[in-house]
Structure 1
């Protein structure tokens, strides 16, 4: 049996123009779905009609057919059950996680990663606010140039001589200040080395949840090997003593906060408001506050680029996909996407360890994780 809806204009139902693009159709559907979904107080019939309108107008072929005929293309109605009377009903599909299933490990070949060659280099210990080498070299060259006229001091007029002496004094003062800056930077590097040494991991990962264990292994095998990379397990937000962030990776002035989820197979995405969607429906089976956490850490660490990685694993042996489009600084990712995308981004800031940022994050390792 075929069902058609002839008395409803799908464009009016979604509140979009007839020339609206797919992005506008999608945005309109999501906004309405939040209030018309049965879990939000709507009716199943209304939401089914809304979903049919969205599926029609978001598909170019079905939309063209709808525009030609003014009604939806054929939509099969639910088939009646063919189960004989008295026969045992088939078990309904399980909607909870399968505790016996463990997602396979990520097997990205390291040689295929554009940033992998960086793992052979050493990190630079110390604050990034040092004077660098260029000012010192310029000061030395300037001093030599100013000293050259010493050969002609006897032939200088008093005015020229006074001007030249003033320049020599200014160059000497600049060299003295640079020397003090270099000394402070050297002391800071020595202090950082004494405080942190070669330690690259802080806190202890919670290995009982499958997703967190897989992510800890993933970090250790890939981005955790970048020079200067520091890994944190169980970070707490300001005012909290709980592990609000499963894992975090710091490379120079780039920080990734990682949240691990073991969810049912399907297609997941985040909308512009940071709300979760699964298979085109609002996802009620899980939640994330990673966007708020990213904003909190970005405010706490000015000058540090902060991103969130929502790492999703399937809870059973079926396909799970994500839309990697970020929202609120959060990137929904699978294991391979995390290795390639976040690893490459972190590689752009690796090689330097900033003691101040490291110190702030170390102090945010939660008591539970630090006490293990």
Structure 2
């Protein structure tokens, strides 16, 4: 039986445009990614097809050799991340093995034993767990914002990075497609957590999935959901979720208390979770460690995040 062509795998005609190929890849990647219950072998086929067809030179070479015996040529890797978030993903993935633990030594994909990874991100950069710092934006810097962002960095550094050697924290990203920012992005394996923050007084707040309520007062959290949706579109190889952490003035990780309105499921498939610091640590550890290959540093995804940092 003749194996399916790259066009067949993505479900596009041989004269498909670059936009059609990219859209088809995103649909196929979501459907086949192991983190979403897909088949790892099929996911690799989808990835290879996109790697070849997205590159004009590799596509011409594939079209000329189409139908010939032997494996199809692979696409050459980009030498560096270009514009923020725009470079198409080029990666190798694998299903989770019994020995894959979040606290195991970090494994780089692709390996730095080859020139492929080094041409994307230098090893000295990829091995760093923290990238960027909370930065002043615009003419005036908001001291309270910088303070709570620094508190979030300290929390993630002490509670997450120390127990997950593969985790990479990128601070101060431009929000794609918007005139805004993503405060923190935490990458581990094939999962990406976006984290924003608030500073509120101690007490009990009720979260209904949209707003916070306390003593008749309504508090609007940061609008993180659009950034989560956009980043999921730009990183179809990853599972992207968002968290807004509420810090208390005195640094108590268990304050304020976030209660949930009737009918709201905090463990449901919500784009953004609103939590205090203690719950943030607990949920992030569960989210990142339960993904496929949690001890993996996915170098192409890290490169694209670094390209999107606020300078």
Tell me, what secondary structure is at the counterpart of 1:211? helix
Match of 1:238 in 2: 176
- SS at 1:278's partner residue? strand
1:291 matched to 2:274 = no
The 8 Å contact of residues 221 and 244 in structure 2, kept in 1 or not, is answered as: no
Alignment of 1:360 onto 2:304: yes
Give me the whole-angstrom Cα distance separating, in 2, the residues matched to 1:293 and 1:358: 17
Structure 2 counterpart of 1:227: 165
Match of 1:322 in 2: 258
1:135 aligned residue: none
What does residue 351 of structure 1 align with? 295
Q: What displacement does 1:300 show?
A: 1.1
Partner residue of 2:87?
A: none
> 1:259, 1:309 within 8 Å by CA — same for their partners in 2?
yes
Which residues of 2 match residues 126-165 of structure 1 at below 5 A?
A: 126-127=109-110
Structure 1: runs of 5 or more not aligned: 1-116, 129-183, 368-372
- The TM-score, its normalising length taken from structure 1, stands at 0.46
1:126–1:188 Cα contact (<8 Å) kept: no
Unaligned runs of 5+ in 2: 1-100, 137-142, 261-265
1:140-161 superposed Cα distances (whole Å, 9 cap, x missing partner): xxxxxxxxxxxxxxxxxxxxxx
Number of equivalent positions: 191
> C-alpha offsets along residues 120-140 of structure 1, whole Å, 9 cap, x if unaligned?
x31111239xxxxxxxxxxxx
Task: Decide whether the 8 Å contact of 1:322 with 1:334 is kept in 2.
Answer: yes
User: Once the two structures are superposed, what CA deviation does each residue of 1:191-245 show, in whole Å capped at 9, x if it has no partner?
Assistant: 4563534222221125943322221111111212312111011111124564x22
Tell me, in whole angstroms, the C-alpha distance in 1 between the residues paired with 2:172 and 2:156.
14
- Looking at secondary structure, tell me which structure has more helix per residue: 1
Q: Pick one of 130, 139, 158 that aligns with 1:201.
A: 130
CA drift of 1:315 comes to 3.8
On the 8 A contact 2:228/2:242 being kept in 1, the answer is yes
User: Are 2:263 and 1:334 equivalent residues in the alignment?
Assistant: no
Quick check: 1:250 aligned with 2:187?
yes
CA-to-partner distance for each residue in 1:304-344, whole Å, 9 max, x for gaps? Answer: 11111110023479962113716741111111111111122
Q: What is the CA distance between 1:282 and its match in structure 2?
A: 6.2
TM-score (norm 2): 0.54
Relative contact order (alpha carbons < 8 A, sep ≥ 6): 1 or 2 greater?
2
The answer on whether the counterparts of 1:125 and 1:192 sit within 8 Å (CA) in structure 2 is no
**CA 1:323/1:294 → structure 2, altered by over 3 Å: closer, same or farther?**
farther
Deviations 1:97-136 (A, max 9, x none): xxxxxxxxxxxxxxxxxxxx843x31111239xxxxxxxx
In 1, Cα distance between equivalents of 2:127 and 2:251: 40
Q: 1:267 Cα deviation (Å)?
A: 2.7
Q: Contact conserved, 1:192 with 1:355, CA < 8 A, in 2?
A: yes
Question: Compared with structure 1, are the counterparts of its residues 269 and 327 closer, same or farther at alpha carbon in structure 2 (3 Å cutoff)?
Answer: farther
Name 1:260's counterpart in structure 2.
197
Report how far residue 280 of structure 1 moved: 7.1
Q: What is the SS of the residue equivalent to 2:246?
A: strand
